[in-house]
Amino acid sequence: MVREWADIDKPGVQVAVQAGTFMEPVMAAALKQATMVVVKPPATRERELEAGRVDVFMTDYPYSRRLLDNADWAMLISPQTLPCAALRLRGKAGRRRLARHRRRIRRADQARWPARSGGQAAWPRRHRRAAALRGRQGVSSTAARPQRATPTRLSRAVPWAGAALALAVAAVVAWLGWSEHEEKLENQRARNELLARVLEEQATRTVETTAIAMASLGELLGTQTPAQIGEVTPVLNQAMVGLPFLRSLAVLDARGRVLTSTVPRDAGVTIDPRRLGAWPAVDRDRLGPFVAGRTLADLSQRGAAVPATVGFIPLLRGMELRNGEPALLVALLNADAFANQLELTVADRLGGAVLTGYDGALLAATASVPVPAGTTLASHPVFRDYLPAREHATYLGTGVRSEEQLVAFRVSRSRPLVVLVEYPHAAVDVAGGRASGRLPPSAPWSCWRCW
């Protein structure tokens, strides 16, 4: 994952630049380990980044500020360099000016803060004069000293009454604090439940929209033979325009050979289809697990090295071609698109959210949850104690993160998806501000990446 400027020039990172801009020669010379992707029209840098085909794209600072005002799915990464300057005086004349300046400061300090020796000597003399005056007036130093009164029963009860009052005040304050804590806890519980419901609906809608588009494409592909399947590639490319959260669409035969794909380098590649999940029945679809890689070509034996955090979630649809051969229509859902939905909806640096399958396999998570995609959460209390008996609930206890969490979860209505939202119990009473993602306009050029 690219989260700061130092993460850009690393192996496996795809850096996009617009063809013909001054960024192209600059990045060609600057990048040593990352791969530069030149984006040519009609493709755009924004669409390539949103679909997950690149990790960042480079642009100048004015364009980045305009995009920041209109895009909530991206994050601005600016070089951590600020213009600075150092000034010094040169030659003997400069040193003489500095010495005169220091002398003026020293004289000003002496005039403002005189020596304290006189003040310290005058202090005891004033006391001696006061003592002599009291002696001439016949007043001794002990005559004015009050005599200690004999304590009465009422005076002895005053400390106990004060202690009792203090205990009563402490009890009232503790009760008010406990009531306020319970109210905040209930408010946070209600907020977690609402977030879990919204995130479940978003994730389900994303998968359902893709499934509807795949059903229409499956009917068209069923009228083609394996030799004619390449003729429908333009139709697949057109479908991608309305599905910006897809990395690619492809058609596989029973042996795992890619017959056609919206990514040209995937065509003709042979992969093991079992890595995508179980093969669904004809005219049925199935959501697969998280798979590390950008495209299907990365799953072949000659696939390029890809960071483990970059991956996709395959949605498979079984179908039959016109000659009766089985085929598989595959849509690669960008896992970062789900993580982006979680991040934008939670919008809290203390809160966290994850999207998993029924088996507890993590598909996507917010940045505040330090668990990589593909990790199994089968021992989590939601999967161990609640599912499948409960479809939604809240509790206070163990979460994905280490400290005690206030957890809410909800199961998707139609897809094998589970959304978990959690908030640290210790932070419920803390009024934390949200960190601003704005950077000062000091960097001459910047880059963008998906959250």
pLDDT at position 110, please? 65
CB 225 within 8 A of CB 322: yes
Mean pLDDT lowest for which of 41-50, 73-82, 366-375?
73-82
Neighbour-count burial of 130, counting CB atoms closer than 10 A to its CB (0-12 exposed, 13-18 middle, 19+ buried): exposed
The dihedral region occupied by 138, where left means phi > 0, alpha psi between -120 and 50, and beta the remainder, is left
Q: What is the pLDDT of residue 92?
A: 61
> What is the structure's pLDDT at 41?
87
Up-side HSE of residue 180: CA atoms within 13 Å toward CB?
A: 9
Matching residue, tokens 């669904």: 280
Place of tokens 């795992």: 256
User: CA 331, 345, 17: angle at the middle one, nearest 5?
Assistant: 55
pLDDT for residue 441: 37
Q: ∠ CA 235-238-239 to the nearest 5 degrees?
A: 90
Higher pLDDT, 52 or 236: 236
Residue bearing tokens 């006189």 = 118
Place of tokens 């949850």: 369
CA 142, CA 145: separation in Å to the nearest integer? 5
Per-residue pLDDT at 114 exceeds 80 = no
pTM of the model: 0.69
* Strand positions, DSSP E, 350-391: 352-357, 362-365
- What pLDDT score does 46 carry? 84
Residue 130's pLDDT is what? 53
- Which residue bears the tokens 């994730």? 203
Task: Give me the pLDDT at residue 301, please.
Answer: 76
Q: Diameter of the chain by CA atoms?
A: 131
User: Is 296 in contact with 248 (CB distance < 8 Å)?
Assistant: yes
User: What is the C-alpha separation between 323 and 192, in angstroms, rounded?
Assistant: 52
For the chain, percent of residues with pLDDT exceeding 90: 50
Mean pLDDT, the chain, rounded, equals 82
CA angle 259/264/265 to nearest 5° reads: 90
Residue 138 pLDDT greater than 60, yes or no:
no
CA quadruple 368, 374, 377, 382: dihedral sign: positive
Task: Give the per-residue pLDDT at 345.
Answer: 94
Residue 399 has a pLDDT of: 94
- The pLDDT score that the predictor gives to residue 148 is 52
Sign of CA dihedral 103, 106, 111, 114: negative
Residues 2, 35 contacting (CB under 8 angstroms): no
pLDDT of residue 53: 86
The least confident of 37-41, 138-142, 160-164 is: 138-142
- 3-class secondary structure, 200: helix
Using 50, 70 and 90 to split pLDDT, how confident is the model at 97? low
Residue type, 50: E
Dist CA 433 CA 443 (whole Å): 26
User: How far apart are the C-alpha atoms of 282 and 266, rounded to whole Å?
Assistant: 24
Instruction: Report the phi/psi class of residue 20: left, alpha or beta, with left for phi > 0 and alpha for psi in -120 to 50.
Output: left
| Gyration radius of the chain's alpha carbons | 36
> Which pair of tokens denotes residue 40?
């040519």
pLDDT, tens digit, 9 for 90 and up, residues 365-403: 999 999 999 999 989 999 999 999 999 999 999 999 989
pLDDT at 285: 96
Domains and CATH numbers, the chain: 5-80 (3.40.190.10), 206-334 (3.30.450.20), 338-425 (3.30.450.20)
Structural contact between residues 63 and 23, judged by C-beta atoms closer than 8 angstroms: no
pLDDT at 325 over 90: yes
Say whether 64 sits in a helix, a strand or coil. Answer: helix
